[in-house]
Structure 1
Amino acid sequence: MTPEEWQRSLRRQFGPSQPFLLKNVGKERVFSDFLVTNPASGRTYRVAIRGEEPGVSFCSCPDFATNLLGTCKHVEFALAAVRRRRGGARALREGIRPAYSSVSLVYGARRRVRLRLADAAPRALRRRASGLVDADGFLREDGLARLGDLVEAARRAGHELRVYDDAARFVAAVLEGEERRRRLDRAFPAGAASPAFDGLLRTPLPGYQREGALFACRAGRAILADEMGLGKTVQAIAAAEIAARWLGVERVLVLCPASLKHQWQDEAERFSPRRVAVVGGGRKAREAAWGAPAFLKVAGYDSVHRDLDLIGRWAPQLVVLDEAQRIKSWSTRVATSVKRIESPLALVLTGTPLENRLEELISIVQFVDQHRLGPTWRVLHDHQVVEEGSTRVVGYRHLDRLGESLSPILLRRRKSEVLAQLPERSVKRLLLPLTDAQRALHDENLEIVAKLVAKWRRYRFLSDADQKRLRVALQAMRMACDDAYLLDGKSRSGRKAGEVDALLGDLLAVDGTKVVVFSQWMRMHELLVERLEASGRGYAFLHGGVPSGDRGALVRRFRTDPGCRVFLSTDAGGTGLNLQAASAVVNVDLPWNPAVLEQRIGRVHRLGQSRPVQVFDLVSEDSIEERMLGLLGFKRALFSGVLDGGDPEVRLGGSRLSRFLEAVGEVAAGAEEPPKEAPPLAATALGGGTVPAGTSASHSAPAPQAGTAAPRPGTDVASLLRAGAALLGQLAAAAEAASRGAPGGGLRVEKDPATGRSVLRLELADAEAFLGALAGLAGGFPA
């Protein structure tokens, strides 16, 4: 069974069993229009039944529009209801034979428009239609533009020709795209070198920015994924101006993080003569802002859900998403709300559309063109590498093909390609020894990490509580690397604050030099502020607690006030802000994510920078910071494989948790492995405490027979047998519960709906006991 057949069968099984409500709103009994309502969600979708074969019927739900299957649970529910009616099943088998002709959209790997002429269609209409369709009845590309003439001919002949809404929208979108490109070709005959760019904005645009603005307008809905620092904001403003002058756009909506709203206002007013308004405040203030006249309105992502009705009333014609990684998680309220905004044109701005998983890129692309990549299940099936015999993702493949499919709507340039004149960037890593107090706190938490990693390596399992302990200990290690004060709030023991003070003394000795200092931790900034105030240095401080309305003023002060020479920021300032007034960046601590680190540096080393940029990374010696520097390659490789023409194959090396723990294991390398203690059997059987791993490594076990699984060297065979007995006891209890129909237990074989593989499903009254027994058994054998 192919993946498509499997997905269809899921919907055919699931749909008819749902408690949906069905209402016939058409004129026919079988081949009619229906409303299908889900009482649980309150949502209603229109279903048009035109036949049984996939692709001929229609549903207005999002799943039908994107799954490429030609069916959905609502269509299958309606079909099942029609079959139960007298004569319904026979009518479906015989097919539709109405007296009217129709134009419908057929959904599949490629959406196509089908013309179906009724037996009663006039001969002259048939002759006219024959020049528009292929042998299968689908409109040719040149036939789309002449569909209107065919509809008019049918009207004059007195013959009913129904054009279904989805087909009409599809044809209109195709024709509008062709007209948009014709207009732009006339206005910009030489592309980026066209005279129309002269005077477009109040600032001249380099060639690559002209190309970016024109690409966005020609595509209609596009992603501009230029590397940070190449001026995506000004390209978006240029695209909006092109859309206004040549495409008739009068209303542009910019959605961005709250911290960037006023920066957008400043730059739009600086580069363009058009009216700009920022939407903010309470409901009444926002209502007034949405109702006020303005060409470009700037709103924060956090207000979209509350203002969907106001946005719909204003009806933006172009929507710009800045820092669009905010919608990379498709199920969040921000993402679902943003995707409900309708507009003919859209432009997504992000330097990091892909950071960790392909699903992030899919979510962003769906806002621009929900049909571009096809359904998520198909993308993941084609590009994920799954471990044999499981659903665990261990890598990605054919990333170059993914990049090719995105090329009509996604444009990405790197600094090295288009900005040869950008000043050089130098990175200097400063290794600082830990103080005794820092070392004690660091190693205390390192011991916790080492124990948990050793536990995971033995049993390949960590409970939720253990995972939380691991995260807390890792964070405490990182905080200890900055200063002991970050953990106890009292002592001042650390070298980083003093090193930053010394660096500032050297850097600020040069007239006009300004410095941006990043740290993730508020308490670290407290130590830096103490030293800045003691030395009388002027500074600005941006963090998550600064109201969004005040953030633009902080940036302006840093840019224009000669006495404000230091800009302190948490990672709230690492996104979107333009801080080219500085020429040095100090990273007091390093983030796990390389994209976050690049975001920080990109605030300074970007278009408009005229001086060489110095970057200083402060790293605590022989610590988690020094060891984590080499663990970021996968994320960079995944990003490069899709967007930068890098390696089309990326291997993850295990599950997300296992990859993380292997990395943590490298970070914790050198810590003394904790002693192995065997708890009482009761603890093993009930899943409490640490499952025994056996005796010391010097204990020798009998050599295994060929073809058999050997116990791990050092395993106490008696403990192993006890763990196996406990596991079998748990399985027996589940099976016995299933046989008597008792709640809280069960054992059955099911089909995994995502993969189609058979899986054994256990419903356990005591999951911890089962996992403890399983961990004890697995821990005795080599991985």
Structure 2
Amino acid sequence: MAIAPKSRSKTGAKTVVAAAPAAVAAAPTSKTKAKAKTPAVSKLAVAEKPAAKAAAKPAVKAAPKTTAKTAVKVAAVKTPAAKKAVAAKKTTLPVAASPAPVAKKAPSKKTVKVVEAVVAAAAAPAPAPVKATKRATKAAAELPVVVVAKPAKKVATKKVASKEVVVAETVLGKVQPKPVTKQGKATKAIKPTKAVAAAPLPAEPLIAAKKADEKKSKTPTPAKTASKADHKPAPKTVAKPATKPATKPAVAAPIQSVAPSAKRTKSPIAKTKPVATNPALVPAPRPTPPAPPAVPKPPAKFALQRPGSAASGVFGDYVVAELAGEQQWRVSIRGTSLSDCRCTCEVFRFGERGSCEHVEFALGSLLDEPQQRAALEQGLRLDYSEVLLGFGAARYLRWRQGQHCPEAVAREAQALLDERGRLPADAADDVGLLTGLLQLAAELGHEVRVEAGVWEQVALGRDARQRVQRLAQAYPQGLESPALRGLLKLPLPLYQLEAALFAACAGRSLVADDLGLGLYAPAYAAAELCARHFGTERVLVLCAESAQARWLGEAQTLSLAKAQMVWGDAQTRQAQLQNLGQGLEIKIASLASLGQDLALLQGFAPELIIVDEAARLDADALALLRQLDKGFLLMLSGQILDEQPQALLALVDLLDRHRNGPWERFLSRHVRRSGQSNSFFALERLDQTLERVMFSRSRAELLPTLPVALVQLRAVALSQQQEQMQAPLLADLRRAVARWQRSGYVSESELLQVQQTLQQLRRLAISPQLLDAQLGSAEAPKLSAVAALTRELLGAAAERLVVFCQWDDALSLLAARLQASGTAFVQLHAEAPLAQRMEALRRWRDGSGSAVLLCSDRAAAGLDLQIERAALVNLELPWGEALLEQRLLCLADEQSRGLPLIQLLAQTGLEQAMLQTLDGVVDLPAGSLDGDVSRQLLQGEEQQRFMQALVALCGALPD
């Protein structure tokens, strides 16, 4: 190995030389050029191989001084002239023990010119100083400093001239290394002044020398170093070559030049390694970074146990138990593939991977044992064939062929499989395909075993087809079938019947209609269809606690079934859930109580669960609902969920709990997974993807087929004071109607009294203050409901809200309630002049007054209230259709469609009986109870028809 000592030139420049086996950059040779340009990585320097068994006593002298600013080293050439030139100096150079092999490279033109000039100077008879040209000095500065060993034979000048001669900058600095000879003895440190490079020849491998000890010395200052270099001769060194001499010289490693350091430095002695072919393109070697610490293996979470009753061999059932808990899961191992294993946990049954951590732990533990691994890799060999259930995002059927399976059976089984080798579970027995396969195997005497879950999955597919067929037979005319009109107490519009039929056919579905299309009526209609045709008896409605009363009111108004709220203390709730009668039972519970009442609700065993505002359910509520859900499921949303794909994905996961395909199609067509987050795409095709479980429509989509008004009934329970004041009035009405039934006669004065009683009952449903002005703090649920409607509708379903009522004094009470709640409004008074009413209407239109308008029928006379995105609220239930049409025409023309109309309906009173009666009565006397009763005296046939309507009304009144 070549040892490069530090030396000092007369110019005073410093360089620290490292004998590294890699390409490096040479230091600048000129003071004027050092700052402007740093030379690129230099070319390889070449050194001849020393002769074997000879004392390596270098006779190479330092080259003559040059007049350039930077001292230049010249390659040594073994000619007689060169010997004389070298002998002028008494400096010896260390021997390169084993230079690195370098591929032969053609010199550049610029280098060849410099080489020829240098060789000519070296071959001159007199060692006179040579004055280097400026151009040659610059070219020489770009070449590295090399250390040359004594060659075995003399090299002709002609041959040397044809080779590349490397010129480099003089190495400065003082070091005292101890080179090691072959016998391991250290020699004295030497101080060469100028190094010479030989022409590059074919390289031979270098042999790394032993690393010698070196003394630490302080780097001398430039002045001292220059003085010593001028007056003190360099010591001689003798090194014994490690190998025999060769006719061809070896290639020496390039030397790296770096900036000097003020600290004490060591002369680096490193083992030489082969050099790359093109060192100019190879970066300097960097220290190898320490290897990262080994990641500790996470502690075990489970323990694998084999039941004592299990069969021998590696295949069979295992128990995976928690180490830090008491939970256990049964894992069945049937092969090395995850699809061949089973687990009893929820993740395996409902996850999208078709596996779980328990299966992976059990399988990994078995594969770690060589004997068990070999047994697993051989596979499970059975004489019989199997039809298995595949788990994952979509469940499917798998065919595992036995060893002795007849060719006909194997061919028939393969014909049933798709391109992925699967048989879709929902179509497995569509036309008896699976049954036919089993029959063929039985005829040929081959046993085929069917996994238990296969029949359950096949049965679910059959049930879905049978529901559609049964409903199609019951209603052959579709939505126009007469039997659908009597589905509820009130007839439903076609778009609501369509949603109800879809929910009944699907069994498990999401109805996400736009706001204003109504959800209560389709839900109760779907419950009635399931009860009629599929035997459903227990229905559970889960909603917000604030919406329980509204769901109860809608059930009492629309449904023929018995409905009851689940509320109160724990004992009361338990009694309410256990109190069951005959026929359809509807229990209305709060979603907030789902956790604490889960055991009670499971005891109720609902066959149909209706979930209101399903998009607001969090993960905990969905997990609890999964434990309760065992049958039909109807999830409702008052807004379209296409723009909420994350919430929709969670709902589809629950709806497709049997993994019949919708959830898998959602994941594959619209979801990109990135770690724990999801990104969604192609949401415009969600309707096609989820057409089997989701029914969603916007108002714009249904606009051509919508009626003028979309009626929503908002049931309001009467207060206790209202019920007490209502009782004597209902008794008077019943007596008058019974008297007419007995005699067929009623006087005009008595008929007028009956009409006034009816009006008092209608006004009482709004507020008790309308009958007794002395009641200053009477409770009025209808007035409170209007205040809540303003917050619900404005900005969502409508931009303007009109509240109609037959009586101005009732609107005045409402105005006081709105003002107390902080709701701004504009009121039109019937007694006010037309100009004043028009000014108030203008303020309502431009929104400067308020978005809420209070208007009576008399005050609206002669005014045009039509405006876009308006909604209508009826404070009382109109007696006849004429008054309802008149109010609608104030806001919409004949071309308008889908105007939201909210009808407030008092429960357990006259209005609820009126709603049921008016639906059965085709024609009522016009204006009999609408308007001023004192001006409406009925006679003759109109009187008879009116009394007959009262008979039906009294029959619908509660006891």
Normalization by structure 2: what TM-score?
0.41
More helix by share: 1
Normalization by structure 1: what TM-score?
0.49
